Amino acid sequence: MSVVVVAVLTPKPGRSQELLDAFAVVSPTVHAETGCERYAAHTDGDLVVMVERWASVADLAVHATGAGITELGALTDDALAAPTDVKVLQNVPFGDPAKGTIQEGH
Question: Would you say 6 and 87 are in contact if contact means Cβ atoms under 8 Å apart?
Answer: yes
Cα Rg of the chain (Å, integer): 14
| Average pLDDT rounded to a whole number, residues 82-106 | 83
Q: Give the pLDDT mean for 36-44.
A: 96
In angstroms, the CA 54 to CA 72 distance is: 18
Residue 79 has pLDDT above 60, yes or no: yes
Residue 104 has what pLDDT? Answer: 60
Identify each DSSP E strand in 10-60 by its residue range.
36-43, 48-54
Q: Which domains does the chain have, with CATH numbers?
A: 3-89 (3.30.70.100)
**Is it the case that residue 106 has pLDDT exceeding 60?**
no
Angstrom distance (rounded) from CA 39 to CA 4: 10
